[in-house]
Each structure stands twice: as structure tokens, then as C-alpha cells.
């Protein structure tokens, strides 16, 4: 952009000062032109404001403050702190400061002294000057306009308008077209001033294919600018000469990429049309191809050497070829070219180095064989190649030698094929005319050598032998050749097995799939090719392995033929024969161990069917009771065989709450002190669970545990007062040895701890008149009491158990009352209640007779009364029995003789007084018509126990039947046998046996009564059966003779048995309850 000359600065400043206006509101306004030079003073704030308003400024500094929204223009102006001059600080470019071209371009700031309260607001208006020339927004100011061949006159093509960033008339643009005789004119629309080119006649491409014109844009400002924008590619490049030769000689040893010569051509067009690019001409011919092989023509016209020149090998010692120069028009079809000829001669400068040609046997001669090879184990000094060395320089002397590699310094061969560094070379050169000798100088242009082995090669040690051949002529020029000879394999290494092979098979019980491992991965053969191709087979002598596995012949992958069971056998060992593929095969044997991976298919099993443990009562919590132990045949390491223990808390019975079990060891401990007198027996289950690592699919075994609490002597005997054991003894007889009563002390302990011994503590105080039997507690007269008057003696007794240590009761006081001889009870004749001499005695006379008669009357009355009471009692009992029998007949028929479960060999009859074990009356039957013909002897075996008892059966039968003879026939009962597990304990009324939902029973009823016999209580007790699970309570009468055998007898295994097989037993508890399950 143009800047205003400095000569006009003074005039502008005067104009600016005239534009200052001061207002009462402390605001100044200044108008300036853009592009003022830096340092130009545009006003003085002191003179125009502070002095005008008589504001003192002495000793104060002027400062400038830019408003927030004007911070981006903070570097445009500055104020002199002393004089108050406002100067231009930065470039004032209106087009950059106000790119939107507003009517006014403004810049605002404030000037103050010390305090912003006395600030002066300054507004600067920036005026436009004609400093922008019109331009077109196109690259290179070139507008390309295309018309079609044959377009007629009046054809329009719109073109872009020029842009002028100035304001007002400075930005208004006029256009002028210099068509230079071209058939085009410029048009501009009146509405939007759009420009277009319009044809003035028909366009003929054959006449001319392009036109160059100038379009001039002129603004209406005081300065004018011209812009030429259109060019047409109407000129071809022109070489400065038609024939080019290098300015200096070109020798064969010129460096690659060095310049040979520079082409020069020009094009009068502009832009891309005037840019010249050089290349080879697309001319066919041998000369052109040879030139392209050795030379390169760059786009800038430089001709350089592409590859080394070899005068001796070049068929022609010069290059003759054509080049072109073309413009860089974008459309290739419009590009224009020019052609020139180039001639370059090559001169010979230096001698040639020796060349080496090696002919490996048996492939033949080649300058650089791709892959020469020899077999391993070849004999020493075996010929593997012929070496031909040539030197084009006639008469030149050549010497050759082998080296370890072409990058090592050459060394002359010594005797034995060692280099001067003491290293053995794999091959040596021998002159074809002298055996085992060094090569000698010769005047011939060609020398022949034999390449022979210098050692025996082992391919397994090294598969390649690399070496170099170095030949030097008398000019110290060297010829080198490097080779790597491949050592071919010979089948001399047998397969080698990498130690024992262990495979993890599939899980046991899984389907038969191939094992993951392969024997091939554990065997290697140092040979290669077919010699290392291995085949696998099972040892034919191992018949067991052939039954269990098959092997893939190529991979050695094993596949099981059976389903494994790790618990039966955890691993298998087999032999696999490995054979290589050589012509003379070599074999090795691999020992393979196949381990079966454990599956969690075995549940823990308790070592004992039931653990019967004992523990003393009153032991503290965490006292060891015993151990449960379960074994799992699965593998421990995987957790499948590891067992953890826990109590089965699903039991309805709460016995398990009194114990705990160690999860790891199975140790059972008490969780609280146990009291035998409260509960003497505990039954619970311990669950043994395995611990699979997967965390799911655990299997569980159940251990039954019964714990008996052993007694400790922790209770003292306690005296009991009952009608038979009163606190007062009436002493009516006075002879020594007579029992006057009995004391009773009870100890809830067990065994010796329960047995009680009695002691009379004040025997001396009662003058040794009384004693107590130690075992029975009978209180006896120890001395005759005939001389004793009627009086009371206090007997102090103590009871001690027989435990160790003994526990004794508190002292008990009993009273022995000696009855007066004159008392009526004493004079009753010595019977019943009086303890005295049998003869009796008393006063004589009438008074005595009256008294004796009165006693007899009393005795007779008492006897009659007791007789009447006895008859009434018998009558009532008979009525009750009859009424009970009628009640039972009205109920449905139950099987009350016994209860049996699903697997019974013995059935338990449960009673309050004890438990009785008797054989069951059941049997398998083939049909319903004969299942009720069976019965068995009822043989009850008393067992000692206390409290309530469970119910247990063992064995297995499908059905059972019970029958008993009756007056009118028999009744049959059949039950489908299913597992019965849950029972309720006995209560004070008898046995209560519950049955789980799902158990079933069938009742076949002939409609007659069923007789039954329990412990031989009494024949003739009858009842009718009810539904399964009903309970029947039956009275048991006092002992009676056994009933006569029934007419039909008893059934044992389907055969009748004689009545003698019935057995009878003493009576037992008054009531027994049984349930048919």
C-alpha cells in the first residue's frame, strides 16, 4: 500500500488541528487520514483542553488509557507525558482496522493526569485515502476463459470483477479491454456491474486456438492502476542451439550424478505457459536406449551421469540422442515442444581391474551364482568350482587368493589353508596346472583356478560357508567376488527327544477329543528337508497303549480311544516311535506320560457310617468331642478332592446347635457346656463338601454323628417325701430289727454317681436306738424299745452318692414317734400298724373286753367296706374295657401291631417305658390275593432307654402284610414301601410317628376285625384300622394267660406254623401308641 509523502505531514497536522473540537463534557474529536507516518503529532491535549479550561498541569504527567473494547488498537497512538503531544505510534491502515468498511472508522482512548476522574476522552476518526489498487482474486492475475469451436457472435462468458478495498470513489472500478484484434469485447451489466466477454464473430479453432488480451481495472481515485490478467499459450519453447556437445571431455571414470552439460531453451509466454521442462525425446532406437541407460535429463535441463561408465565394456564409445523442451501447460494436449540433438563422447582414462568368474559344479559358469551348494561330509580337497580370472589390460600381472569374507583384509594363503591371521578359510584356490600349490604370476589375460574344500563340513554346525576371492593386478587394482555356499543336508542325525513328555489329557468322563499337546513339539531333528520330516507311531509291542490311544502320524497328536477315569488310573505311560524321512531312516523312541485331568465326579465319603462319640458333661465350650473324616477320591490339588466340613443346619432338630465343626480338620467341639441331666444324647449330621476351584458344582457327603454325654458327679442326692416315704415314722413295734419306715433320696446322675448310701448322723443322740440300712434306706429299730415311753425321736439323716468324689445331700430330719402301749392302734392285736411284741398285752377286766369288742367291730366294718369297693371297682373296669372295645371297633382299621419303614429288617415299637425290637410281619408277594396270608411270630426284645426314641428300619422289600386271627376272619394290609424319614418323638401319651408327604399306603380290608398281640399283653384286644398315619391308643390289661391258637394258625413265609411258635411276654406300660406308616 502506498504511504503519504512526508512533505505533506505539516499540512495534514494543520488540517487535523483545525478538526479538533472541545466540548464541555471533556471530550475531544480528531479526524486524520490513514497511513500517517509514525511520530506524526496529531494534537496537544494540554493546549486544547487543560489550558482551555484552565486546569493546572504543573508537575503532573500525561498518561493514555485505552478503553477495553479498543485494546486491540492500543499501539496506534501515544501521548508525551510532559508536553501532552499526541503522536502516531503504529501503522494506521483503515482497511485493516475496519475491514467491514463502515462509514466512519473510529479509535477511542482517554488521556488523564494522575487520576482517571480528570480524564479527557479522545475520538480519532480515520479517513480513507486511495492506497489500494484493484485486483482480481485469482492466482497470478490470470483469468482463463474458454469458448467452444464454432461459438457465434454475441456469445457471452462471465468473468470475475476486480476488487478495490478503498472506500467511496477510491473503491469504484472502471474496466478497459485491450483485445489486440481478438474477436472479443467487454460487457458490463447495469444492475450488478458483472463483467463478461462477448464474441464479435464466429470462433474458429483451426484458425487460432488461443488469444492473449489485457483487461485493465481503474479506480476513480486520484491514483490509477493497470492490471493485465489474460495470457494464451501461443508460443513454443526455443532451444538456444540445435546441437549440443559437452564443454569439456567426458572420461569413463566420471562420478555418478556429475553434470555433463546444461540445455537452454526459452518460451515467450508467461506463467505456466512460459515455464520450460526438459526430457529425453520419445524417439526409438538403440542410441536413445543406451543414452537412457547411462545418462539422465533433469527437468531443469541438466544432463548427468546415471551409472558408472565403462569404456572397455561399452559397445559404442559415444552417446547420440535427442532431447525436448516443453512448456508446463496444465492440459497436455495444449503443451508445445522443441527438439535438439546431443552428442557425448566417452574417453578411456585408466586400466581395468581383474574380473572373476566362478563356475560351480555342476551348475556351470556364472558371474554371480545365486545359490551354490555342496553336500556335507564332502572329502577334504574336493573340487567344487573352477575360477576364471581375466584382466583386459594386456601383459598385466594378476594374483588371486581366498579370504574369509569380502569385508576382511585380503591375506595370502599359507600352507594348510590358514590366512595370515591364523584363521582357517573354508575353501582354497589351486592352480589348474599345479596341484596343491599357490597360484603363480602369468602374462596371460586369463588364469584358471580350482576351488577346493579346506575342511570337512557339518551342516548341523554351520549351514553356510561364506568366503571371498580377491585378485590384484600390477596397478594395485582389485577384483573381488564374494560367495556363500550352502551346505546341503545328509541324513546323519537321528531324531532327538527333548526329555520326558508329559501331556494333560482331557477331563475324565469327557468325550474323546485329541489331546492339546503334540509329540512333534518335543522332538527335533538337526537335519533339514525330508531328512527332518518326522513320522510318529505307537510302539507295536505296547498293546495296552494301542487299546487306549491312537497317534497322528504327521503331528504326533494323541487321541484317546476310551473315556478316562482318573480315580481308576491317574496317568498312562506309552512309547511313541519317531522316524525321520531320510533314504536310510533313523528312529528314536519318545516316552510320553498322559495325565488325566480330574473332574469333580466323586463326592466325599465318610470313613464311618456313623460316628458314635462321647464327651463328659460340664466341659467348657470348645472342648473337643471327636473328629469326623471324609475322603474324596478326586485330586486334592485342584480342590476337587479337598474336603471342608460344616454342620447340616437344615435338620429340624436343634441338636447341632450345641456343637461346632472345624471346616478344615473335621474336629467337632462343643459350642456350650453340656448337661447330661438335661439331654444325654445328641444326633446331627456333618456335611463334607469338596472345594472345586471353579466355585460351583461342589459335591457333598453326609456323616451321621451321635454324641453321648457322659455323666459327672455334679448332682447331690435329694430326699423325697412320698406317701411311702413319710417324714414321721409311727413306731408300734419295739423289737430290734423291725423296720419302722423307709427314706428315699434320689440323684439324677448315672451309674455309681446315682447310687445312694444313707447315714444316720445323730445315732448317739438317739442312744443308738435306731439305725438306717446303708443301701435300702430302711429305718430299723436297733435296740428294744420296750422300756421307752411314748415319745418322739428326731433322726438326722444324710444321703451320699457313690461317685468320686462323693456328693452328699443336705441333712434331712425325720421324726420317729413311739406309740403309747395304751393307744388303740397298739392294742389291736399286733397286726397291721403296731410294732410291738406279738403277744400283745394290756389291762384286764371288763374295760379291756369292751375295748377288744370295739376293735373287732371296726375291723369287720372295714372288711365289708373294702369288699364292696373291690366289687364296684371290678364292675367299673369291665364297663370301661367294653366301652373301649366298642370305640375301637367303630374306628377304621389301623395296623397297630407294629410300624415298619422302607428298608426294614426289624421294626421298632415305641413306648413310654422303653423301646422293643421285634421282627416285622411283612414279605414280598406276587399278587393281591395272597399277600394277607402271612404273619410272623411277634418276638419283642426289651431295650433299656429313657425318654423319647426315634424310628429306624433297614433292609429292602416292596410290600409287607400283617394279619392276625380274629373271631370272624382276618384283615390284610398292604403298603407300597417308600422311604420314611421324618418322625416325631414320643410324648407322655405314647408313640407319635409322622410320615412325609408323598409316601403312600394301600389298605385291603375284608370288613372283619383284626386281632393283635403286643408283648403278650392279652389276647382278644381288638380294634379296627384307620387311615395311614392315624394314631390309636389302646389299653393294656394286667397279665393273663395266653390266648388259644387261632384256627387258621400263623403264617410264616407263606406256610402255616404251629401255635407253639407264639411267645408271650410280661406286661408293660399301661398305654402304647403305634402308627401305621
DSSP letter (8 states) at residue 223: S
Fold agreement (139-219, 605-710): yes
Cell 512333534 belongs to: 520
Q: How confident is the model at residue 587 (pLDDT cuts 50, 70, 90)?
A: very high
Average pLDDT of the segment spanning 1036-1062: 41
Average pLDDT of the segment spanning 1052-1064: 36
Distance CA 47, CA 24 (A): 15
The pLDDT value given to residue 857: 79
* Weakest-pLDDT range from 19-33, 347-361, 524-538: 19-33
Contact assessment for residue 403 and residue 470, using Cβ atoms and an 8 Å cutoff: yes
Identify the top-confidence range among 165-179, 205-219, 524-538: 524-538
Query: Residue 582, class by beta-carbon neighbours within 10 Å (0-12 exposed, 13-18 middle, 19+ buried)?
Result: buried
Average pLDDT of the segment spanning 850-877: 79
Q: State whether the Cα torsion 736-737-739-742 is positive or negative.
A: positive
The pLDDT value given to residue 1052: 33
Distance CA 101, CA 652 (A): 99
Contact assessment for residue 604 and residue 632, using Cβ atoms and an 8 Å cutoff: yes
Q: Count the helices and strands in the chain (H runs, E runs).
A: 6, 69
Q: Decide if pLDDT at 342 tops 70.
A: yes
Average pLDDT of the segment spanning 227-243: 76
Distance CA 715, CA 755 (A): 12
What nine digits make up the cell of 710?
A: 457322659
The pLDDT value given to residue 797: 95
CATH superfamily membership of 6-127 = Cadherins (2.60.40.60)
Per the DSSP assignment, residues forming a β-bridge with 427 are 453
814/14: higher pLDDT: 814
Contact assessment for residue 216 and residue 178, using Cβ atoms and an 8 Å cutoff: yes
Distance CA 38, CA 88 (A): 5
Query: What percentage of the chain exceeds 90 in pLDDT?
Result: 23
In tens, the pLDDT along 315-338 reads 888 899 999 999 988 888 778 899
Angle at 746 between CA 743 and CA 752, to 5 degrees: 115
Cell 532406437 belongs to: 285
* Weakest-pLDDT range from 349-353, 428-432, 528-532, 642-646: 349-353
The pLDDT value given to residue 369: 56
The pLDDT value given to residue 358: 86
Distance CA 195, CA 229 (A): 14
Of the candidates 72, 71, 62, 68, the residue with the CA atom closest to the CA atom of residue 28: 62
Q: Decide if pLDDT at 604 tops 90.
A: yes
Contact assessment for residue 1070 and residue 1036, using Cβ atoms and an 8 Å cutoff: yes
Task: Please state which of the four CATH numbers 2.60.40.60, 3.40.190.10, 1.20.120.1200, 1.10.645.10 is assigned to the domain occupying 355-488.
Answer: 2.60.40.60
Q: Was domain 718-818 assigned CATH 2.60.40.60? A: yes
Residue 59, sorted as left (phi over 0), alpha (psi -120 to 50) or beta, turns out to be: left
Of the candidates 189, 175, 187, the residue with the CA atom closest to the CA atom of residue 227: 175
Of the candidates 147, 146, 140, the residue with the CA atom closest to the CA atom of residue 227: 140
* Contacts for 100 with CB less than 8 Å, ≥ 6 apart: none
* Contacts for 879 with CB less than 8 Å, ≥ 6 apart: none
In tens, the pLDDT along 610-662 reads 999 999 999 999 999 999 999 998 888 778 889 999 999 887 678 899 999 99
Q: CA dihedral in degrees (409, 413, 414, 417; nearest 10)?
A: 110
The pLDDT value given to residue 51: 78
Average pLDDT of the segment spanning 359-388: 80
Distance CA 615, CA 187 (A): 126
Identify the top-confidence range among 511-525, 554-568, 974-988: 554-568
The pLDDT value given to residue 442: 45
pTM given for the model: 0.38
Element housing 1035 (H / E) = strand 1031-1035
Distance CA 943, CA 949 (A): 11
Distance CA 322, CA 340 (A): 6
Q: Decide if pLDDT at 899 tops 80.
A: no
In tens, the pLDDT along 471-481 reads 888 778 888 88
- The 10 Å CB-count burial string (b at 16+, else e) for 680-695 is bebebbbbbbbbbeee
Q: Decide if pLDDT at 939 tops 60.
A: no
Average pLDDT of the segment spanning 945-958: 31
Q: Was domain 139-219 assigned CATH 2.60.40.60? A: yes
Strand order in the sheet with 62-66: 21-22, 27-33, 115-127, 105-113, 62-66
Strands 243-244 and 276-280: unpaired
The pLDDT value given to residue 812: 94
In tens, the pLDDT along 978-1017 reads 333 333 333 333 333 333 333 333 333 333 333 233 333 2
Q: How confident is the model at residue 415 (pLDDT cuts 50, 70, 90)?
A: very low
Contact assessment for residue 326 and residue 237, using Cβ atoms and an 8 Å cutoff: yes
Q: Was domain 499-596 assigned CATH 3.30.1950.10? A: no
CATH fold for domain 238-347: Immunoglobulin-like (2.60.40)
Residue 795 phi, psi (nearest 5): -100, 120
Per the DSSP assignment, residues forming a β-bridge with 124 are 30, 107
- The residue extents of the domains of the chain are 6-127, 139-219, 238-347, 355-488, 499-596, 605-710, 718-818, 843-889, 891-1077
Distance CA 782, CA 738 (A): 8
Q: How many CB atoms lie within 10 A of CB 541?
A: 8
Give the architecture (CATH level 2) of 605-710. Answer: Sandwich (2.60)
User: What is the chain's mean pLDDT, rounded?
Assistant: 73
What nine digits make up the cell of 83?
A: 508536553
Contact assessment for residue 503 and residue 378, using Cβ atoms and an 8 Å cutoff: no
Distance CA 977, CA 452 (A): 100
The pLDDT value given to residue 187: 85
* Weakest-pLDDT range from 64-78, 122-136, 579-593: 64-78
Distance CA 521, CA 552 (A): 13
Report the first-to-last Cα separation within the chain, whole angstroms.
121
Element housing 857 (H / E) = helix 846-890
* Contacts for 950 with CB less than 8 Å, ≥ 6 apart: 683, 983, 985
Per the DSSP assignment, residues forming a β-bridge with 151 are none
- Largest Cα separation within the chain, whole Å, is 201
- 3-class secondary structure, 406: coil
Distance CA 380, CA 383 (A): 9
The pLDDT value given to residue 1004: 30
What nine digits make up the cell of 187?
A: 460487457
Distance CA 750, CA 712 (A): 8
Distance CA 255, CA 22 (A): 82
931/278: higher pLDDT: 278
Ordered alpha helix ranges (H), 1021-1065: none
Q: How confident is the model at residue 693 (pLDDT cuts 50, 70, 90)?
A: confident
Element housing 571 (H / E) = strand 571-579
* Contacts for 387 with CB less than 8 Å, ≥ 6 apart: 356, 357, 358, 359, 400, 429, 448, 449, 450, 451, 469
Distance CA 10, CA 18 (A): 13
Query: Residue 193, class by beta-carbon neighbours within 10 Å (0-12 exposed, 13-18 middle, 19+ buried)?
Result: exposed
In tens, the pLDDT along 787-809 reads 888 899 999 999 999 988 899 99
Q: Decide if pLDDT at 860 tops 70.
A: yes
Strand order in the sheet with 184-188: 156-159, 195-199, 184-188
* Contacts for 859 with CB less than 8 Å, ≥ 6 apart: none
Per the DSSP assignment, residues forming a β-bridge with 112 are 63
In tens, the pLDDT along 15-48 reads 444 344 433 346 788 888 888 888 888 888 887 7
* Contacts for 955 with CB less than 8 Å, ≥ 6 apart: 903, 904, 905
The pLDDT value given to residue 768: 92
Amino acid at each position: 500500500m502506498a504511504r503519504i509523502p512526508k512533505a505533506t505531514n505539516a499540512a495534514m497536522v494543520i488540517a487535523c488541528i483545525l478538526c479538533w473540537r472541545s466540548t464541555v463534557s471533556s471530550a475531544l474529536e480528531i479526524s486524520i487520514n490513514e497511513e500517517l507516518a509514525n511520530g506524526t503529532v496529531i494534537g496537544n491535549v494540554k493546549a486544547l483542553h487543560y489550558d482551555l479550561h484552565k486546569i493546572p498541569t504543573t508537575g503532573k504527567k500525561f498518561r493514555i488509557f485505552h478503553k477495553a473494547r479498543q485494546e486491540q488498537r492500543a499501539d496506534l497512538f501515544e501521548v508525551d507525558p510532559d508536553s501532552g503531544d499526541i503522536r502516531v505510534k503504529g501503522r494506521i491502515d483503515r482497511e485493516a482496522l475496519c475491514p467491514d468498511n463502515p462509514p466512519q472508522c473510529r479509535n477511542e482512548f482517554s488521556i488523564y493526569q494522575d487520576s482517571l476522574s480528570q480524564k479527557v476522552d479522545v475520538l480519532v476518526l480515520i479517513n480513507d485515502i486511495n492506497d489500494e489498487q484493484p485486483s482480481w482474486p485469482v492466482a497470478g492475475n490470470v483469468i482463463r476463459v474458454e469458448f467452444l469451436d464454432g461459438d457465434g457472435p454475441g456469445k457471452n462468458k462471465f468473468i470475475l470483477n476486480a476488487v478495490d478495498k478503498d472506500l467511496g470513489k477510491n473503491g469504484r472500478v472502471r474496466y478497459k479491454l485491450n483485445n489486440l484484434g481478438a474477436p472479443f469485447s467487454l460487457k458490463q451489466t447495469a444492475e450488478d456491474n458483472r463483467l463478461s466477454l462477448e464474441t464479435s464473430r464466429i470462433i474458429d479453432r483451426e484458425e487460432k486456438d488461443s488469444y492473449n488480451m489485457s483487461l485493465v481495472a481503474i479506480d476513480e481515485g486520484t491514483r490509477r492502476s493497470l492490471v493485465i490478467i489474460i495470457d494464451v499459450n501461443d508460443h513454443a519453447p526455443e532451444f538456444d542451439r540445435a546441437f549440443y556437445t559437452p564443454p569439456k571431455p567426458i572420461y569413463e571414470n566420471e562420478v555418478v550424478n556429475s553434470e555433463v552439460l546444461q540445455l537452454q531453451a526459452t518460451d515467450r509466454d508467461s506463467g505456466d505457459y512460459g515455464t520450460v521442462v526438459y526430457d529425453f525425446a520419445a524417439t526409438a532406437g538403440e542410441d536413445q536406449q543406451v543414452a537412457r541407460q547411462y545418462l539422465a535429463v533433469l527437468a531443469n535441463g541438466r544432463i548427468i551421469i546415471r551409472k558408472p561408465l565403462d569404456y572397455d565394456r561399452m559397445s559404442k564409445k559415444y552417446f547420440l540422442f535427442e532431447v525436448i523442451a516443453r512448456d508446463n501447460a496444465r492440459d497436455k494436449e495444449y503443451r508445445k515442444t522443441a527438439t535438439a540433438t546431443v552428442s557425448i563422447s566417452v574417453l578411456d582414462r585408466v586400466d581395468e581391474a581383474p574380473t572373476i568368474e566362478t563356475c560351480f559344479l555342476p551348475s556351470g559358469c556364472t558371474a554371480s551364482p545365486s545359490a551354490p551348494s555342496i553336500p556335507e561330509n564332502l572329502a577334504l580337497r574336493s573340487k567344487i568350482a573352477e575360477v576364471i580370472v581375466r584382466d583386459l589390460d594386456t601383459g598385466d600381472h594378476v594374483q588371486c587368493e581366498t579370504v574369509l569374507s569380502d569385508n576382511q583384509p585380503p591375506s595370502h594363503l599359507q600352507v594348510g589353508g590358514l590366512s595370515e591371521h591364523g584363521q582357517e578359510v573354508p575353501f582354497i584356490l589351486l592352480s589348474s596346472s599345479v596341484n596343491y600349490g599357490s597360484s603363480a604370476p602369468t602374462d596371460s589375460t586369463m588364469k584358471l583356478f580350482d576351488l577346493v574344500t579346506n575342511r570337512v563340513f557339518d551342516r548341523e554346525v554351520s549351514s553356510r560357508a561364506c568366503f571371498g576371492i580377491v585378485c590384484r593386478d600390477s596397478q594395485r587394482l582389485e577384483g573381488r567376488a564374494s560367495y556363500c555356499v550352502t551346505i546341503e543336508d545328509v541324513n546323519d542325525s537321528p531324531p532327538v527327544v527333548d526329555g520326558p513328555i508329559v501331556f494333560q489329557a482331557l477331563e475324565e468322563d469327557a468325550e474323546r477329543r485329541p489331546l492339546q499337546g503334540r509329540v512333534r513339539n518335543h522332538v527335533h531333528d538337526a537335519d533339514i528337508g525330508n531328512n527332518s520330516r518326522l513320522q510318529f507311531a505307537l510302539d507295536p509291542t505296547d498293546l495296552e497303549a494301542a487299546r487306549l490311544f491312537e497317534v497322528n502320524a504327521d503331528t504326533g497328536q494323541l487321541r484317546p480311544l476310551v473315556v478316562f477315569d482318573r480315580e481308576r488310573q491317574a496317568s498312562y505311560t506309552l512309547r511313541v516311535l519317531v522316524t525321520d524321512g531320510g533314504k536310510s531312516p533313523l528312529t528314536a523312541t519318545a516316552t510320553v506320560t498322559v495325565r488325566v485331568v480330574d473332574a469333580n465326579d466323586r463326592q466325599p465319603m465318610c470313613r464311618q457310617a456313623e460316628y458314635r462319640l462321647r464327651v463328659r458333661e460340664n466341659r467348657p465350650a470348645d472342648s473337643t468331642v471327636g473328629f469326623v473324616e471324609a475322603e474324596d477320591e478326586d485330586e486334592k490339588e485342584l480342590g476337587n478332592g479337598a474336603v471342608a466340613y460344616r454342620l447340616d443346619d437344615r435338620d429340624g432338630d436343634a441338636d447341632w446347635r450345641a456343637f461346632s465343626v472345624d471346616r478344615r480338620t473335621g474336629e467337632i467341639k462343643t459350642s456350650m457346656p453340656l448337661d447330661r441331666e438335661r439331654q444325654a444324647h445328641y444326633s446331627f449330621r456333618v456335611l463334607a463338601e469338596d472345594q472345586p476351584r471353579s466355585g460351583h458344582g461342589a459335591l457333598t457327603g453326609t456323616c451321621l454323628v451321635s454324641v453321648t454325654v457322659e455323666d459327672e458327679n455334679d448332682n447331690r442326692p435329694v430326699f423325697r417325701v412320698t406317701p411311702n416315704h413319710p417324714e414321721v415314722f409311727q413306731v408300734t413295734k419295739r423289737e430290734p430289727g423291725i423296720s419302722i419306715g423307709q427314706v428315699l433320696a434320689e440323684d439324677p446322675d448315672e451309674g455309681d454317681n446315682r447310687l445312694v448310701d444313707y447315714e444316720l448322723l445323730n445315732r448317739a443322740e438317739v442312744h443308738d436306738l435306731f439305725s438306717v440300712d446303708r443301701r435300702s434306706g430302711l429305718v430299723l429299730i436297733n435296740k428294744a424299745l420296750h422300756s421307752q415311753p411314748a415319745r418322739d425321736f428326731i433322726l438326722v439323716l444324710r444321703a451320699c452318692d457313690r461317685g468320686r468324689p462323693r456328693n452328699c445331700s443336705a441333712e434331712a430330719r425325720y421324726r420317729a414317734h413311739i406309740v403309747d402301749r395304751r393307744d388303740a392302734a397298739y392294742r389291736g392285736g399286733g397286726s397291721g400298724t403296731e410294732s410291738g411284741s406279738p403277744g400283745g398285752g394290756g389291762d384286764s377286766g371288763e374295760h379291756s373286753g369292751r375295748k377288744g369288742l370295739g376293735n373287732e367291730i371296726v375291723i369287720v366294718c372295714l372288711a365289708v367296706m373294702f369288699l364292696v369297693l373291690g366289687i364296684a371297682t371290678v364292675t367299673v373296669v369291665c364297663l370301661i374295657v367294653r366301652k373301649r372295645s366298642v370305640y375301637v371297633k367303630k374306628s377304621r382299621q389301623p395296623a397297630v401291631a407294629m410300624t415298619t419303614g422302607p428298608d426294614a429288617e426289624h421294626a421298632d415299637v415305641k413306648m413310654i417305658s422303653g423301646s422293643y425290637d421285634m421282627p416285622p410281619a411283612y414279605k414280598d408277594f406276587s399278587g393281591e390275593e395272597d399277600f394277607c396270608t402271612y404273619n410272623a411270630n411277634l418276638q419283642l426284645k426289651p431295650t433299656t432307654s429313657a425318654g423319647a426314641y426315634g424310628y429306624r428300619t433297614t433292609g429292602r422289600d416292596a410290600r409287607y402284610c400283617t394279619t392276625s386271627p380274629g373271631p370272624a376272619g382276618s384283615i390284610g394290609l398292604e403298603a407300597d414301601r417308600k422311604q420314611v424319614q421324618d418322625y416325631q418323638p414320643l410324648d407322655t401319651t405314647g408313640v407319635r410317628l409322622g410320615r412325609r408327604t408323598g409316601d403312600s399306603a394301600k389298605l385291603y380290608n375284608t370288613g372283619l376285625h383284626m386281632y393283635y398281640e403286643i408283648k403278650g399283653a392279652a389276647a382278644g384286644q381288638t380294634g379296627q384300622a384307620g387311615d395311614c398315619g392315624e394314631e390309636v391308643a389302646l389299653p393294656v390289661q394286667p397279665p393273663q394267660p395266653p390266648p388259644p391258637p387261632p384256627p387258621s394258625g400263623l403264617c410264616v413265609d407263606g406256610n402255616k406254623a404251629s401255635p407253639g411258635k407264639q411267645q408271650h411276654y410280661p406286661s408293660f406300660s399301661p398305654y402304647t401308641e403305634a402308627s401305621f406308616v
